[in-house]
Amino acid sequence: MAELVRTDLQNYAPASNLLFNEKIKNLILAGQQVYHFAFGQSPFPVVESAVTALKEYAGENVYLPVAGIPELRESICAFHARFDNLNDYIADDVIVGPGSKELIFLLMNVFSGDVIVISPSWTTYKPQARLAHHTPHVIKTSIDNEWKITPQLVEQFMASNKLSKHKLLVLNNPDNPSGTIYSESELRALSEIFRRHNIIVLSDEIYARLNYDQPHVSIAHHYPEGTVLSTGLSKWCSAGGWRLGYHIYPKELTPLKLAVRSAASHTYTSAPSPVQFAAWKMFQNMDECDDYIQHCSRILKAVGDYCHRELTSVGVKAIRPKSGYYIFPDFEILREKMESRGIVTCEDMCETLLQEASVAVMAGGPAFLRPTNELTTRLCYVPFDGGLALKASRALGLDDPLPDDFVKEFCSNVYDGIQALKNWVLLQLQ
CATH 3.40.228.10 corresponds to the domain 49-284: no
pLDDT of residue 8: 85
pLDDT of residue 185: 97
- Say yes or no to pLDDT of 345 above 90: yes
Q: pLDDT by residue (tens digit) across 221-256? A: 999 999 999 999 999 999 999 999 999 999 999 999
Q: What is the mean pLDDT of residues 338-348?
A: 96
pLDDT of residue 33: 84
- Say yes or no to pLDDT of 213 above 70: yes
- Say yes or no to pLDDT of 130 above 80: yes
Top-confidence residue, 51 or 34: 51
- Say yes or no to pLDDT of 216 above 90: yes
Q: pLDDT by residue (tens digit) across 294-305? A: 999 999 999 999
- Say yes or no to pLDDT of 1 above 60: no
To the nearest whole number, what is the mean pLDDT of the chain? 95
C-alpha torsion angle, residues 383, 389, 390, 393 (rounded to 10) = -140
The full 3-state SS of the chain, as one line of letters, equals: CHHHCCHHHCCCCCCHHHHHHHHHHHHHHCCCCCEECCCCCCCCCCCHHHHHHHHHCCCCCCCCCCCCCHHHHHHHHHHHHHHHCCCCCCHHHEEEECCHHHHHHHHHHHCCCEEEEEECCCCCHHHHHHHCCCCCEEEECCHHHCCCCCHHHHHHHHHHCCCCCCEEEEEECCCCCCCCCCCHHHHHHHHHHHHHCCEEEEEECCCHHHECCCCCCCHHHCCHHHEEEEEECCCCCCCHHHCCEEEECCHHHHHHHHHHHHHHHCCCCCCCHHHHHHHHHHHCCHHHHHHHHHHHHHHHHHHHHHHHHHHHCCCCECCCCCECCEECCECHHHHHHHHHCCCCCHHHHHHHHHHHHCEECEECCCCCCCCCCCCEEEEECCCCCHHHHHHHHHHHCCCCCCCCCHHHHHCHHHHHHHHHHHHHHHHHHC
- Say yes or no to pLDDT of 128 above 60: yes
Q: pLDDT by residue (tens digit) across 11-50? A: 777 766 677 778 878 877 778 888 999 988 999 999 999 9
| Burial class of residue 82 (count of CB atoms within 10 Å of its CB; 0-12, 13-18, 19+) | middle
Tell which residue, 385, 211, 233, 381, has the closest CA to residue 297: 211
Tell which residue, 281, 378, 217, 233, has the closest CA to residue 55: 281
Q: What is the mean pLDDT of residues 95-104?
A: 98
- With beta carbons less than 8 A apart as the criterion, state whether 220 and 28 touch: no
Q: What is the mean pLDDT of residues 99-124?
A: 97
Q: pLDDT by residue (tens digit) across 392-425? A: 999 999 999 999 999 999 999 999 999 999 999 9
Tell which residue, 87, 122, 68, has the closest CA to residue 218: 87
Q: pLDDT by residue (tens digit) across 181-204? A: 999 999 999 999 999 999 999 999
Q: What is the mean pLDDT of residues 56-61?
A: 98
pTM: 0.95
Q: What is the mean pLDDT of residues 285-312?
A: 98
- CATH 3.40.640.10 residue spans of the chain: 49-284
- Say yes or no to pLDDT of 2 above 70: no
- CATH 3.90.1150.10 residue spans of the chain: 13-42+288-429
pLDDT of residue 27: 75
Domain 13-42+288-429 homologous superfamily, CATH: Aspartate Aminotransferase, domain 1 (3.90.1150.10)
pLDDT of residue 394: 98
pLDDT of residue 356: 97
